[in-house]
Amino acid sequence: MNEHVSLSVPADEQAPRPNSRKVFIKTYGCQMNVYDSGRMSDALAGEGYVTTEEMGEADLILLNTCHIREKAADKVYSALGRLRDMKKARAAEGRELMIGVAGCVAQAEGEEIIRRAPAVDVVIGPQTYHRLPEALRRARGGKPVVDTEYAVEDKFEHLPVTEKAKIRARGVTAFLTVQEGCDKFCTFCVVPYTRGSEVSRPVQQIVDEAWRLVDGGVREITLLGQNVNAWRAEGPKGGEWSLGDLLYRLAEIPGLARLRYTTSHPRDMDDRLIEAHRNLRTLMPYLHLPVQAGSDRILKAMNRRHTGAEYLRLIERIREARPDIAIAGDFIVGFPGETEKDFEDTLRLVEDVNYAQAYSFKYSTRPGTPGADLGDQVSEEVKAERLERLQALLLKQQAEFAKSCVGKVIDLLLEKPGRMPGQIIGRSPWLQSVNVDAKTSQIGDIIQVRISGTGPNSLFADPAESLIGA
């Protein structure tokens, strides 16, 4: 899943109750962490907490952490050092400040966080955050609480229903987690160790949450999972459903204009899901399908269990089903043992696919993963040089895709105000940010626009006369 950093969960529309506590949540990492932060905010609401965007006024500060990047734990400990000083200053004023660490670093570090940062009150893993209110109550007794055991119960059943006001405050697009964990065990990846094995939420639980989101004003839902297209569950009439079946069911919800999903694994891209891309206009023509490398030798060392040729054939099938689809990918350069020939195989695959968007990184070891123990590590200098060459090619393809959109008339979902008066920012079907002067429209509308130009990271458009949906 591509990286995302958010400073806080948006504040509730409703005014805080007198004497209510305030929580500030700093969210690191992927879209699933953004979703998790929202659900932690929901869970804390029952304890009298309201969210704030100002860290200085918070009674509780939560760091919802990500372990996917190198030195992630170091960044967390650095932040905790600053929070320790803030907590001391509060104590001198006779005021309480509680500190919590959640997410994947919490899962990976556990008790070590308390040892290195004694100011922390609660350490809670991604499978146990529904128990956060209870953990805080226990921590007020004076002893830090660490809860990183994989929960036997379904955490989603124990989370409170998100109120309409909170849904409206969070905007017209929403994330919805349908699957967690991963059984693929790629040798570079820490996810199976921090998020656990693959678990899929039941159909009705997902549908009910989607209905509530739409009822609260959401127009676009992105289904989330560490390996989202591995989602499997029993259908309403028995038999196993796959992600394609779930998308068909969600597309029936009145008022839900757009569906997306991320992140996928090539091995789980089945016929039903490809068929959904062909038949569902609600399903946006954008697919994030990481490959990581183009060399079969490196793919085998990564335990990806597919070849470069198999990936290319899969892309061809997907494009046959949905010719206008934009493909995004992930790449790791400098995996142990990668030669110049291996890297050139990656460049050739990129040329063959022609990506609309991509995320690329230098390989970095993750303690506890098989890749950390491999020999023949590639030097940092070589990794940096290869990454520069790869990113130059990917940026060229991204720019060419953006230019190919100029002149097209598209449906644009308006999401938030722009920087200029009357300007609104929306997302194209291909997930690009689009700036448009839409003085007669409002956030949540889907309007028809013509793409007029490109910027470094966004598009510009002029509105058409007709309003497609309000």
> Residue positions in the annotated binding site?
30, 66, 104, 182, 186, 189
Residue 98 near residue 136, CB atoms below 8 Å: yes
SS3 378: coil
Q: What are phi and psi of 19, to 5 degrees?
A: 70, 10
CA distance 467 to 266: 37
Specify the residue for token string 């700093």.
Answer: 26
Query: What angle do the packed helices 340-353 and 308-321 form, to 10 degrees?
Result: 10
Bridge-based pairing of strands 179-180 and 199-200 is antiparallel
Q: Check if the beta carbon of residue 407 is closer than 8 Å to that of residue 451.
A: yes
| Contact assessment for residue 3 and residue 66, using Cβ atoms and an 8 Å cutoff | yes
| Burial grade of 307 (CB within 10 A; 0-12, 13-18, 19 or more) | middle
* CA end-to-end span of the chain: 31
* Opening angle at CA 40, ends 34 and 46, nearest 5: 145
24 neighbors 62 (Cβ within 8 angstroms): yes
Q: How would you list the strands of the sheet with 60-65, edge to edge?
A: 49-51, 21-27, 60-65, 98-103, 122-124, 145-147
Neighbours of 90 (CB within 10 A): 14
Buried b or exposed e, range 351-367, using 16+ CB within 10 angstroms: eebebbbbbbbbbbebe
Nearest CA to 441 out of 418, 458, 409, 459 is that of 418
Distances (CA, A) of 121 to 81, 106, 339, 409: 14, 12, 47, 53
- Bridge-based pairing of strands 433-437 and 423-427 is antiparallel
- For residue 263, say if its preceding peptide bond is cis, omega within 30 degrees of 0: yes
Annotated binding site for [4Fe-4S] cluster: 30, 66, 104, 182, 186, 189
Distance between CA atoms of residues 294 and 288, nearest Å:
16
Q: Can you tell me the distance from the alpha carbon of 76 to that of 84, in angstroms, rounded to the nearest whole number?
A: 12
Region of 376 on the Ramachandran plot (φ > 0 left; ψ -120 to 50 alpha; else beta): left
